[in-house]
Amino acid sequence: MGKSKLLEMNNVGIVVENLDNAISFFTEIGLTLEGRGMVEGEWAGQVTGLENQSVEVAMMVTPDGHSRLEISKFLTPETVSDHRTAPVNSLGYLRVMFRVDHIDELVSRLIRQGAELVGEIVQYEDVYRLCYIRGTEGILVGLAQQLNEK
């Protein structure tokens, strides 16, 4: 038997209250809806430890096809905690970062749709322009535009 090795990162999960709004927000950033459906039954509860659960899930994929967001709305059991408005220095998973082009134009579009810029768009050396925004339901998203791309 060989030693196991990491093959790829499959997805990052985000739990929301309004699945349609979250799909719209991440579509505006540039992800594509890959599929949508229900996850329920005994097997699902055995994986998560939540026993009887009913979850509507949307899988969104990045343009390169390598990264995915699994956006979930729990119908049962109801959610028990809320990290969405926690500051970036809180413990736990708090944000996802995307590499984008034309960061100023994208941020302007997202703000027109209700997103909020957390601080400022800043430049890190001659490498990136980046920022954090709070999108639908206060979800924290990082955006980074690579400079001098080769």
Mean pLDDT for the chain?
A: 91
And the tokens for 121?
């768009």
With bands split at pLDDT 50, 70 and 90, how would you rate the model's confidence at 91?
confident
pLDDT at res. 115: 96
Higher pLDDT, 20 or 82: 20
pLDDT (tens digit, 9 = 90+) per residue, 12-68? Answer: 999 999 999 999 999 999 999 999 999 998 888 888 888 889 999 999 999 999 999
Element (H, E) at 56: strand 54-61
5 pLDDT above the threshold of 90: no
And the tokens for 65?
């096809």
Q: Taking a C-beta distance cutoff of 8 angstroms, is the pair 140, 88 a contact?
A: yes
pLDDT at res. 88: 80
pLDDT at res. 149: 67
For residue 99, report the phi and psi dihedrals to the nearest 5 degrees: -90, 130
Element (H, E) at 122: strand 122-124
